[in-house]
């Protein structure tokens, strides 16, 4: 293993150790929600990159002088080839990205984080690593004591600021996501597929990216009776379930629910529906007959996000809900058009 490989390995090992120590420290102070602070999401990968940049190997030997016009000296020794190296900043970024990737994998394998949480955190961590790697290279030019002091200050800030930020109240933000699907069936046929949904088989689900990263798949939604006040229980994989109380009932036109999480299933506390940071509050189906025997079905839902970085969180929660609703609407479409399993019989 060359100096670059050793530097990458040492940087990854040091970074993972540091990241897990900060993770454990915040959990000790704040329980299983301790790392849901912007300090951890943004400051820790920044510090990881600064630390990783310290392991970039020093510059290699200078390239040999160019041969003279008379040609190479037949009596001299052949010049040694210069090792292939990237620019220092590129090496620092590459080592930093390796460190963050290793940290996310270790945190997921050890159970500190779920796959869904790691996937959502990764974009921010990689972006923040870029200026961290640049600062880390800059620190290497400082006098040793100054460099050590700056490095210790950078590494210590997340552990100090995280608990302070966690003590601040969480701001709430509400977003609505809407999906549409065109169905070659009349509204009454579509209505029968949305009021109560029998077991959804795997072959009916066109799984999107959200399911591939850990979002449970929908399985069934059973309504106890017709009309406002009726209750529908929606079941997902992993034990996740919701109690949906009907708030608007216009047969063949509109169906609305007030949603409450009944069982969080196996979701990570950071992304648990009905938890401190995220909730789904309501959902509405609207049926529109756009041509004889053709229905445009709309599905909208309203969510709450409550974090110290709501803009970032809301972007991903909207994308996840959009993907989930697309999956549900495709099942309804296929069943209403006679192509799905478990279709609801006509009443």
pLDDT digits (tens, 9 = 90+) for 186-240: 999 999 999 999 999 999 988 788 888 888 899 999 999 999 999 999 999 988 9
CA 80 remoteness from chain centre: 48
C-alpha span between 243 and 233 (Å, rounded): 5
C-alpha span between 16 and 183 (Å, rounded): 50
More confident residue, 174 or 33: 174
* Residue of 64, 67, 84, 74 lying closest to 2 (CA atoms): 84
More confident residue, 299 or 94: 299
Q: What is the mean pLDDT of residues 341-346?
A: 45
Please give the angle made by the CA atoms of 70, 72 and 77, to the nearest 5 degrees: 150
Q: What is the mean pLDDT of residues 182-187?
A: 96
> Residue 347's pLDDT is what?
34
H runs (alpha helix) in 110-246: 115-139, 144-166, 187-195, 209-212
Where residue 4 falls among pLDDT bands split at 50, 70, 90? low
Tell me the pLDDT of the chain averaged across its residues: 84
- Name residue, tokens 């630390």: 51
Task: State in words which class domain 173-336 has.
Answer: alpha beta
Where residue 56 falls among pLDDT bands split at 50, 70, 90? confident
Residue 150 has pLDDT above 50, yes or no: yes
C-alpha span between 291 and 294 (Å, rounded): 5
Q: 3-state DSSP helix/strand/coil percent for the chain, to nearest 5?
A: 50, 20, 30
Residue 60 has pLDDT above 70, yes or no: no
C-beta contacts of 337-345 below 8 A and 24+ residues apart: 337/183, 337/184, 337/185, 340/204, 341/201, 341/203, 341/204, 342/197, 342/198, 342/199, 342/200, 342/201, 342/204, 343/193, 343/198, 344/192, 344/193, 344/195, 344/196, 344/197, 344/198, 345/192
User: Rounded to two decimals, what is the model's pTM?
Assistant: 0.78
Residue 144 has pLDDT above 70, yes or no: yes
**Domain boundary assignment for the chain:** 3-58+87-165, 173-336
Q: How many residues does the chain have?
A: 347
- Name residue, tokens 């309804």: 332
C-alpha span between 183 and 337 (Å, rounded): 7
More confident residue, 287 or 143: 287
Percent residues over pLDDT 90 in the chain: 41
Strand ranges of the sheet holding 254-263, from the earlier edge strand across to the other edge = 173-183, 294-305, 278-291, 254-263, 241-250, 231-236, 218-223
Token readout for 220 is 């069934």
> Residue 26's pLDDT is what?
74
> Residue 180's pLDDT is what?
97
Q: What is the pLDDT of residues 251-304, one digit of tens each?
A: 999 999 999 998 877 777 777 888 888 999 999 999 999 999 999 999 999 999
> Residue 322's pLDDT is what?
95
For the CA atoms of the chain, what is the radius of gyration?
28
Q: What is the mean pLDDT of residues 170-188?
A: 95
More confident residue, 267 or 101: 101
More confident residue, 247 or 16: 247
Where residue 248 falls among pLDDT bands split at 50, 70, 90? very high
Residue 63 has pLDDT above 50, yes or no: no
> Residue 234's pLDDT is what?
95
């Amino acid at each position: 293993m060359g100096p670059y490989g050793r530097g990458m390995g040492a940087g990854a090992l040091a970074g993972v150790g540091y990241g897990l120590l900060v993770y454990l420290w915040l959990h000790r102070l704040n329980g299983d929600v301790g790392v849901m602070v912007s300090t951890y999401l943004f400051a820790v990968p920044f510090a990881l990159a600064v630390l990783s940049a310290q392991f970039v190997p020093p510059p290699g030997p200078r390239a040999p002088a160019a041969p003279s016009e008379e040609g190479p000296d037949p009596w001299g020794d052949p010049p040694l080839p210069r090792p292939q190296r990237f620019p220092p900043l590129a090496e620092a970024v590459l080592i930093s990205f390796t460190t963050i990737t290793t940290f996310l994998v270790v945190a997921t394998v050890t159970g500190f984080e779920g796959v869904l949480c790691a996937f959502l955190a990764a974009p921010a961590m990689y972006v923040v690593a870029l200026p961290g790697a640049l600062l880390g290279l800059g620190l290497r030019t400082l006098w040793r004591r100054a460099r050590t002091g700056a490095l210790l200050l950078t590494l210590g800030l997340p552990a100090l600021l995280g608990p302070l930020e966690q003590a601040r109240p969480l701001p709430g933000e509400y977003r609505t996501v809407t999906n549409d699907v065109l169905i070659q069936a009349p509204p009454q046929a579509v209505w029968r597929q949305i009021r109560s949904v029998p077991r959804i088989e795997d072959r009916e689900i066109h799984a999107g990216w959200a399911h591939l990263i850990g979002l449970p798949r929908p399985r069934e939604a059973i309504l106890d009776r017709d009309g406002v006040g009726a209750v529908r229980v929606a079941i997902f994989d992993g034990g996740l379930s919701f109690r949906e109380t009907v708030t608007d009932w216009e047969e063949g036109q509109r169906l609305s629910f007030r949603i409450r999480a009944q069982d969080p299933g196996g979701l990570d506390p950071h992304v648990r529906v009905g938890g401190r940071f995220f909730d789904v509050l309501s959902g509405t189906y609207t049926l529109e007959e756009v041509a004889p025997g053709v229905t445009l079905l709309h599905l909208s839902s309203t969510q709450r996000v409550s974090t110290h970085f709501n803009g970032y969180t809301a972007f991903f929660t909207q994308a996840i809900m959009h993907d989930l609703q697309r999956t549900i609407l495709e099942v309804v479409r296929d069943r209403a058009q006679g192509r799905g399993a478990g279709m609801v019989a006509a009443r």
